[in-house]
Chains A and B, each alone.
Chain A
Amino acid sequence: MVGIGTIAIGFFVMLGLMLTGLHVATVMFATAILGLLVFFGPSILAPLGNMMWSELNSFILTAIPLYVLMGEILVRSGIAEKMYNALALWMHRLPGGLLHTNIASSTMFAAISGSSVATAATIGTVAFPTFREQGYEERWVAGSIASGATLGILIPPSINFIIYGAISETSIGDLFLAGFVPGLILALLFMATIAIAAILRPEIAGRPAIEPTMAERLKHLIDLLPPLFIFVMIVGSIYRGWATPTEAAAVGVVAALLLAAANRRLNFAILHVALLSTVRITAMMLLILTTAFFLNFSMGLMGIPNTISGFISNLEVGPLTLIACLVLLYLALGCFLDSLAMMIATIPIVFPVVVQIGFDPVWFGVFLVIMCELALLTPPVGMNLYVVQGVRGRGSLVDVIRGVLPFLVSIVILVVLISLFPGIVLWLPRTMAG
């Protein structure tokens, strides 16, 4: 049918068109529709409306706006400041001091938010003023916030996992559980990076603040309870099989509202901003997602995944070589594409291929989300770089990019770890199944 050369040309034309600045959804939609028209003629488009309805009329995808809404409310609920300050009291003794607080609070905020950009903006807003007085090297401050925030999409709940699960028909519950252990390992790798750097070059960390008393530290632990409660409720209920990811998100929204009300941060103005923002973000994601379903459909009909996996099998490369090639491919794509668009546009092509070759769908989901984390941090289009620079509001973007570099190494180490020991990813979802 379609030869490997034609596929490669089509793929690069699609990427090229995205780079021209057309809407990403338009480019994917046009690719899918043109493919169908050329190879099957106009009659294939007749059921398009019904396909669109059955993809969008979906309780599974309803999880997207619900997690976005939960995050939108929590961002405005005042929970982040309290959490940050409580964690700071425990971290300042480590080598690198408060820098660890950025990672720890990002990790914790990631556990109640499904978005990395929101995590970066929230933690950045709280963190920068704290650092200004204490003489830390600003490129480390910015780097740790931008990198720590990428945990938002790896630690459950995660919008990226929902989208991956929806397109590839992989269990979202399994993906959530699978992201948890790699997320914690990555947080520890980030903290190890800071500790090593601080031991080698003590001047990156500022002068120690006043020693807090144990009573003070214990008193503030109570501020960690609300986010912990929301996280345990969501992941626990999915793990125990009490609720689907969508249902858990609904409960999360209600809990977030109660929390915001308890902090006296809830009023109609705030609620309306959160609701409108939720609808906007959801629509943005769903338009690309709808077109990805068409792309999925047309790729499948044209037999493109079969052709590619046949081609790769003939090359007789080992799985580790293949993973290395995928890392390079995604690293390159991630420099130029928005991370979500990159993920959604490539799943219809790459997912069926890697599964035919024998990768586990859940493992590949975690791998792909880690690639999205890299994409969020690589210039010129790494969104987290710009968000952190925007919140920081002084100096140059180059400081943030240099600050992120050591943390990129941690992410690559994580990829190597999960490639050599897939159990890191698959252990938790399997204990649930067994």
Chain B
Amino acid sequence: MRAFVRVIELGALGAGYALLLLAGLTTFEIIARKLFNFSIQGVDELGGYALAITASLGFGYAALERAHTRVDFLLRHLPERVRAVVHALSWTILCAQALFMTWHARGALSETLLFGSVANSPLQTPLWIPQLLWLAGFCIFFASTALMAGRAWRALASGVPGAVDLAAGNPSLDDELNSVMPAAAGRQR
């Protein structure tokens, strides 16, 4: 399980570096275009792939980090048992959604493979390459939501008060601040 989480983190970090590389390439392209009047082709095309893959790989990472938006202010005022059931249900439903999206992403890839589609662009990228990585991201999304749902149901079954909040609730304000601004969290407390 730890290894799985680590793989997802590395995937997310890889997507981050891809974005950094893309930023560098784009900057180079603009300088070359403005100052030296030549253009390396296809940076925008690569940018599109980078976004699609960052998104699908990131979905799973964001699920593990519980970053997907939930409106929980009513939930916070409900009794602990009810809250626990809602947590478990909402992760299970998100997991079903992830499976549904993965299934359709697979459909898109198999169509690409069937027709041997290439991008309508100077690079003529065979589309199965970015789409395969994209689909891998969705598989990870499904796996990580299944993991979260599993954690929530197990915590519910354990019957320990507060266990589900801890396993599957929204992150606390301190965690969120920490992710926005490390120096801000826990200040003067």
Residues of A at the B interface (CB closer than 8 Å) are: 18-26, 29-30, 33, 45-46, 48-50, 52-53, 56-59, 61-62, 64-66, 69, 75-76, 117-118, 121-122, 124-125, 128, 242-243, 246-247, 249-251, 253-254, 272-284, 286-288, 290, 336-338, 340-341, 380-381, 386-387, 390-391, 393-394
**In contact, B69 and A24 (Cβ under 8 angstroms):** yes
B94: min CB distance to chain A, Å: 5
**In contact, A49 and B16 (Cβ under 8 angstroms):** no
**In contact, A59 and B47 (Cβ under 8 angstroms):** yes
What are 24 A-B contacts defined by CB distance under 8 Å?
A18-B71, A21-B74, A21-B90, A22-B89, A48-B107, A50-B107, A69-B20, A124-B184, A242-B30, A246-B47, A247-B29, A250-B26, A250-B30, A253-B19, A275-B16, A279-B58, A280-B62, A280-B67, A282-B54, A284-B68, A286-B51, A391-B187, A393-B189, A394-B188
B145: min CB distance to chain A, Å: 9
The answer to whether A381 and B73 touch (CB under 8 A), given A21-B90, A390-B184, is: yes
Query: Counting CB contacts under 8 A, is B153 at the interface?
Result: no
* Complexed CA–CA distance, A272 and B182 (Å): 13
- Chain A residues lying within 8 Å of B12, measured Cβ to Cβ, are 275-276, 279-280
* Complexed CA–CA distance, A278 and B3 (Å): 22
Give 12 new A-B contacts, CB below 8 A, not counting A26-B94, A69-B20, A381-B71: A21-B71, A21-B87, A23-B93, A26-B93, A62-B47, A75-B180, A250-B22, A253-B27, A279-B16, A282-B55, A283-B61, A336-B73
Decide if the interface of chain A is mainly helix, strand, loop or mixed.
helix
Most buried by B among A18, A281, A341, A390: A390
How many chain B residues touch A (CB < 8 A): the figure is 79
* Complexed CA–CA distance, A46 and B9 (Å): 32
Give per-residue flags for B22-40: 1 if the beta carbon is below 8 A from chain A beta carbons, else 0: 1111110110001000000
Number of A-B contacts (CB under 8 A): 237
Residues of B at the A interface (CB closer than 8 Å) are: 9, 12-13, 15-17, 19-20, 22-27, 29-30, 34, 44-45, 47-52, 54-59, 61-62, 65, 67-75, 83, 86-87, 89-90, 93-94, 97, 100-101, 103-109, 111, 130-131, 134, 173-174, 176-177, 179-189
Most buried by A among B70, B109, B181: B181
**In contact, B130 and A57 (Cβ under 8 angstroms):** yes
- Chain B residues lying within 8 Å of A57, measured Cβ to Cβ, are 48-49, 51-52, 130
**In contact, A279 and B105 (Cβ under 8 angstroms):** no
Partner of A49, one of B23, B54, B108, B177: B108
**In contact, B20 and A275 (Cβ under 8 angstroms):** yes
**In contact, A121 and B181 (Cβ under 8 angstroms):** yes
**In contact, B74 and A20 (Cβ under 8 angstroms):** yes
The answer to whether A56 and B56 touch (CB under 8 A), given A69-B23, A250-B26, A254-B23, is: yes
- Chain B residues lying within 8 Å of A251, measured Cβ to Cβ, are 23, 26-27, 30
- Chain B residues lying within 8 Å of A46, measured Cβ to Cβ, are 107
**In contact, B111 and A50 (Cβ under 8 angstroms):** yes
* Complexed CA–CA distance, A284 and B74 (Å): 21
A55: min CB distance to chain B, Å: 9
The answer to whether A26 and B50 touch (CB under 8 A), given A48-B104, A276-B13, A283-B58, is: no
**In contact, B23 and A52 (Cβ under 8 angstroms):** no
**In contact, B22 and A62 (Cβ under 8 angstroms):** yes
**In contact, B181 and A75 (Cβ under 8 angstroms):** yes
B136: min CB distance to chain A, Å: 14
Decide if the interface of chain B is mainly helix, strand, loop or mixed.
helix
**In contact, B69 and A53 (Cβ under 8 angstroms):** no
* Complexed CA–CA distance, A356 and B81 (Å): 47
**In contact, A393 and B69 (Cβ under 8 angstroms):** no
When C-beta atoms are compared, the residue in chain A nearest to B180 turns out to be A121
**In contact, A337 and B16 (Cβ under 8 angstroms):** no
**In contact, A247 and B30 (Cβ under 8 angstroms):** yes
**In contact, B71 and A253 (Cβ under 8 angstroms):** no
- Chain B residues lying within 8 Å of A287, measured Cβ to Cβ, are 55, 59, 62, 68
Partner of A53, one of B52, B174, B181: B52
- Chain B residues lying within 8 Å of A64, measured Cβ to Cβ, are 51
B68: min CB distance to chain A, Å: 5
When C-beta atoms are compared, the residue in chain A nearest to B108 turns out to be A49
The answer to whether A23 and B94 touch (CB under 8 A), given A59-B44, A283-B55, A283-B61, is: yes
B47: min CB distance to chain A, Å: 4
B41: min CB distance to chain A, Å: 13
**In contact, B22 and A288 (Cβ under 8 angstroms):** no
- Chain A residues lying within 8 Å of B15, measured Cβ to Cβ, are 279
- Chain B residues lying within 8 Å of A21, measured Cβ to Cβ, are 70-72, 74-75, 83, 86-87, 90
* Complexed CA–CA distance, A57 and B30 (Å): 21
Most buried by B among A19, A49, A273: A49
- Chain B residues lying within 8 Å of A117, measured Cβ to Cβ, are 180
Enumerate the 6 nearest inter-chain pairs by beta-carbon distance, A residue then B residue, closest first: A275-B16, A283-B58, A49-B108, A250-B26, A49-B104, A21-B75
* Complexed CA–CA distance, A185 and B49 (Å): 39
- Chain B residues lying within 8 Å of A336, measured Cβ to Cβ, are 71, 73
A242: min CB distance to chain B, Å: 7
* Complexed CA–CA distance, A251 and B33 (Å): 13
* Complexed CA–CA distance, A287 and B179 (Å): 19
Partner of B67, one of A33, A49, A284: A284
The answer to whether A121 and B184 touch (CB under 8 A), given A251-B27, A386-B173, is: yes
**In contact, B69 and A26 (Cβ under 8 angstroms):** no
Most buried by B among A45, A65, A118: A65
